[in-house]
Amino acid sequence: MPAPAHRVPLDLSAAFARFRNAAPERLHFAAHSHHFWPDVAREAQLTAWDDAARLVDDKWGEVLETVWGRVSSQIAQHLGLADPKTLVPAPNTHELVTRLLSCCPADRPVRIVTTDGEFHSFRRQSERLAEEGLAALRTVPAEPFATLAERLAAAAREHAPDLVFVSQVLFGSGFALVDLAGLVAALAASDRLVVIDGYHGFLARPTDLAPIADRAFYIAGGYKYAMAGEGACFMHCPPGIAPRPRNTGWFASFATLSRGEPGVPYPADGWRFMGATFDPSGLYRLGAVLDWLAAENLEAGVVHAHAVALQEQFMAAMAARPVGPFVGERLVVPLTEPARGNFLAFEHPQAAAWYQRLHAAGIVTDVRETRLRVGFGLYHTAADVERLVSRLRSLG
């Protein structure tokens, strides 16, 4: 569903009362890193505890059937997926990445193509495997952004990778790869895993996986834009691709345990990538947040339009009277570029020092080397941006 043409910020602050009132003077603009949770998430946390007390050993039926069933159905709706059973939960995306890697050939180094704009978790893991000679890693520079997709495709043709891993929205810059269908078509090949890291795209930008659902894996989670906190990640698994990951947990055979099937059986759906025992409270919180979003008619297009409106408000104020790094010329992805996520990244040689200065003044942002990032979420209002601008100007 496309974002609304108008860009008027929402005011949903009452739904986030507990987080906002915990530190009223704090200006939290790291919404690309950790979002505030709406109050409904607290009630869900208590429900998880109460279900554990009520059901004890039998709670897993409730978690894996009722709770996950509701969560997966709503995730599928947000992503345009026809079948929620292609989805599988995990406590974190790194667990899913290692399971995907276990599907790659074991008799030679795994050939990987990725970008230098990926999150630390994948970067660290792939580089460590390359250090040991267990991976042949080809890293494509993310910039210039305009040619990233074609350079990824060229690297895939040249390197013939087993796995291609690329973010929907690059975490260090906010640049978004908007033509996922074209990208996957250019990358796909027999026996190749194409993985889209959607952590900065899910519920941040409208995302329709229907055109690529039969070819690409998609991983995301609740820590950021889904506002559900830790322990609530998931992956879409295209049918028939990588049917037997070597890294496998006992929950992958949860439905067949009583039948005592010989060998190591796997289900055909996304559950083939399931792990082992985990803390289910994150799924309860995610379910509550998705229920709240549905009740308020808030889908990714509305969320993105809200964030863009706040970005424009902030940059208009900075254009009138700049403060430190916050000038249009320092934006890594310009405000005129529609292919961007819900945060702004500013290039500045003193980004780390500015981050510390802002933090001391009660302004929470985020820094990655020489880039200072400012994120906007549903818990922000236009008045919050006004407070941010006022406090920045007080710093001189």
If you compute the radius of gyration of the chain from its CA atoms, what whole number of angstroms results?
A: 21
Question: What pLDDT, in 10s, does the model give residues 223-250?
Answer: 999 999 999 999 999 999 999 999 999 9
Q: Of the candidates 234, 255, 314, 247, which has an alpha carbon nearest to the alpha carbon of residue 31?
A: 314
Residue-range domains of the chain with CATH: 13-29+299-394 (3.90.1150.10), 43-293 (3.40.640.10)
Give the SS3 label for residue 344.
Answer: strand
pLDDT confidence bin for 120, thresholds 50/70/90: confident
- Across residues 299-308, what is the average pLDDT? 97
Q: Which two tokens stand for residue 36?
A: 């505030």
Name the more confident of 131 and 2.
Answer: 131
32's CB contacts (< 8 A; 6+ apart) are 171, 174, 200, 224, 341, 342, 343, 366, 373, 375
Cα–Cα dist 286/44, whole Å: 8
**Chain mean pLDDT for the chain:** 95
Q: What is the pTM of this model?
A: 0.96
Q: Which two tokens stand for residue 128?
A: 């460590």
Q: Which two tokens stand for residue 193?
A: 């895993």
Predicted confidence (pLDDT) at residue 4 exceeds the cutoff of 70: no
Question: What pLDDT, in 10s, does the model give residues 14-68?
Answer: 999 999 999 999 999 998 889 999 999 999 999 999 999 999 999 999 999 999 9
Helices (H), 215-299: 281-295
Asked if the peptide bond before residue 2 counts as cis, ω within 30 degrees of 0, the response is no
Residue 8: the pLDDT is: 75
